[in-house]
Chain A
C-alpha cells in the first residue's frame, strides 16, 4: 500500500458515516443474520469441512456485501471507512501469489494456497497467546519451535514480568519487553542454527511499544513480521492505522490479526464465517497485510478446534481461496495443554481442516491462554505435519478422518474441564530444548493412530 492509500483511508475514517459503536454492533449482528438466511448458508455438523463450493462462494459474496454496507469501523472517530466494490476488486488484484518469509539460507516461500492444494501449508509457530516465564525458559521455549525443521516462522509468547517487574500495558516495562522479546527470539533462532528464520511478532499490546522491537541489528528486520490487530468485530482505530504507517516505511511484513468470536455478535458458525471473510478483505485493503491470522475463538471455551469452529475456519479458507488472493492463516487455538494426547488431536484436526481448505497455519495456543509456560514445539510440529499430510487430500476424505478424530476430544472441550497438561519445563530437556521421552512417546503414539486413520505423518 502506498502513502496515498493510507491518507485516503484516514480521510474516510474522518468523513465516513457516524455511528455509535453499540449501534454498529447491533447493525452488524442483524445484517449478518439476514445474510445467513438470504444465502441459505447452513452449518452441517456431519461435515466439519464443507464440500460444496457454492457455499464458499456464497460466504464470500455475503461477506463482500456486509463490508460494502457496514464499512470498517474506526473506534477513534466512530465513523465507518466505506469502500466501493471496484476499489475492493482493485486492491485485491494487486496481492501477490506468494511471499518470502525470513532471509538468507533460512528464507522460505509462503504460497497463496487453494482448496485441496497439494502444496504443504507454511506454519507460523510459537507460544502464541501463552504467558511465558522470562529469561532462559523463554529462549528455550522459542528454540523448541525453531529447531523443528518443519516450522517456517516463530512468533512470540507473552511475558508476565520483565526483570522481575510485572508488565502493565502502557508502562515502561512493556516497551522494554518489546525490545527484549525480539532479542530473545533472535537468540532462539540462532541457537537453532536458523538465524535468518522469519519472526512474526513480539507479543506486546501497545502499538507504540511494538515499534521498540524494530531494530535491524538486534530486533525485528524487514524480513520479519509484526501483527496488527483488528478489534471485534470488523473494527480498527487510529492507533492501529498509525502502526501500519510506520511498519510500511520499515518494510516489514504486516500480519492482520482477527479474533472472530464464534457465538458472539456474528452468531453461529455461518455468521462468524461471513464476518471473518469481511475482516480479511478489510485487512487486505486497510492494513496491506502480507498474511491474515484467522484466530477464531469460541465465546465460551476460547478454542477454535470444536466442530462448528472447524467448519467456520474451513469456510473462511475456502471462500478466500476460491475468490481472492488473500492468504489466510488458521491460528489453531486449543482447549487442552501440552503433555496431553488431546492437544495433539486438536492440532491434527485443525491442521487437516485448514490445509484442505486452502489455508496456511499458525499455532498452537493451548488452555485458552490461561496457563503459564503451557506451550512447546511438539504440538506445533503436529499441526504442521497434519496439515502437510492432508495437502492435496479431497475434502470428503478429510471429513472421514475428522469424523474419527473429533469424537475423541469434543466432549472435553469445556475450558474448565479440558486436560491442562504440563509446562514446557516439565516436558522438555532445558539444555537441549528437546522433548523428554514422555512427550515424544505420546507424539509418536498419536502419529501411529493417525496413520491407522489414513493420515501419514513423519516422526
Chain B
C-alpha cells in the first residue's frame, strides 16, 4: 500500500469510527517508516475534517462523531509518541479552556465543541458546567491557555460572558487570550458587541473560527 493509500485508509477508518482498523493502520505506517506526523495530518485529521463537515450538514449525528473521535484517539495513542520521538515540538497543541458558564447546566453544545476541538488537535481542558468565570480564568492562567471558550443555552447566563471579558480586562490579561463564546441564544453580533474574539453557529464552525484566530495571531 502506498503512503497516499494508507493515509486515505486511515482517514476512512476514522470517519467510520473503526478504532481497531485505525490502530492497525497506524502501526503499519510506523513499521513502513512513514512520517507519523504526516499520518496524523493527512490521515487522521483529514478523516476528522470529513466528520466535521458531514456533522455540520447533518449527514451524520453525534454518536457517529463520538465514535470517530474515539478512533482518532486510539490511532493518536500509536502515532503521537512516535512523532514525539522523532521531533517533539512538532505535535505542540494549542490549549483551550472551555466551560458552560455560570448559572447554566446545559452542556451538550459545549461537549460537542470540546470533542471536535480535541479531535482537531487542540488540547482541551473541559471544566464542566455552571462554572464561575474566575475559575475559567484561573485555569487558563494555570495551563497557559490560548483560548477561553464559554457556552450557554440561557439568555440569563449571557451577562456572565460579558463579566468574563470584563474580569480579563480588569486583571490586565485580556490580550493573552482568544475568547470565544457560543450557545443557543448567543449571536455573532452579540459576541462581537461584548468584545469576544470568536463565535461559531455550531461546533464545526467554532473549530474553524478557532483555527482562523490562531492563524491570524501567528501571522501578526
Contacts and interface: CB of A to CB of B under 8 A. Distances in A.
Do these two chains really belong together in a complex?
A: yes
B105 A264 contact: no
B61 A268 contact: yes
Contacts of B151: none
Interface string A261-281: 111110110010000000000
B178 interface: no
Interface string A213-251: 000000000000000000110000100000000000000
A267 B62 contact: yes
6 contacts: A29-B63, A169-B104, A262-B61, A263-B62, A264-B62, A300-B201
Interface in B59-80: 61-64, 66
Contact of A231 (B105, B112, B201): B105
A30 B185 CA distance: 30
B58 A168 contact: no
Chain A residues touching B, majority SS: loop
In the A-B complex, list the 3 residue pairs whose CB atoms are closest, starting with the nearest: A169-B103, A169-B156, A263-B61
Contact of A168 (B106, B156, B186): B156
Interface string B101-114: 01111101000100
Interface residues of A, number: 37
B156 A158 contact: yes
A416 interface: yes
Contacts of A30: 63
A298 B185 CA distance: 14
Contacts of A169: 102-104, 154, 156-157
Interface in A363-388: 368-371
Contact of B184 (A263, A264, A267, A302): A302
Contact of B159 (A29, A131, A166, A262): A166
B19 to A, nearest CB: 14
Contacts of B66: 26, 29
B108 A265 contact: yes
B30 to A, nearest CB: 29
Contact of B58 (A131, A237, A299): A299
A92 B179 CA distance: 48
Contacts of B63: 29-30, 33, 265, 267, 271
Interface string A8-31: 000000000000000000100110
Given A205-B104, A267-B61, A369-B185, 6 more contacts: A29-B62, A131-B185, A168-B160, A170-B103, A263-B58, A299-B108
B108 A205 contact: no
A231 B153 CA distance: 12
B185 A168 contact: no
A174 interface: yes
B106 A231 contact: yes
Contacts of B108: 232, 261, 264-265, 299
A271 B66 CA distance: 15
Nearest to A415: B201
A302 B112 CA distance: 15
A160 interface: yes
B10 to A, nearest CB: 24
Given A168-B160, A261-B108, A158 B184 contact: no
Interface string A341-375: 00000000000000000000000000011110000
A368 B153 CA distance: 11
A344 B201 CA distance: 24
B156 A204 contact: yes
A55 to B, nearest CB: 19
Contacts of B160: 168
A174 B66 CA distance: 37
Nearest to B190: A370
Contacts of B156: 158, 167-169, 174, 204-205
B81 to A, nearest CB: 25
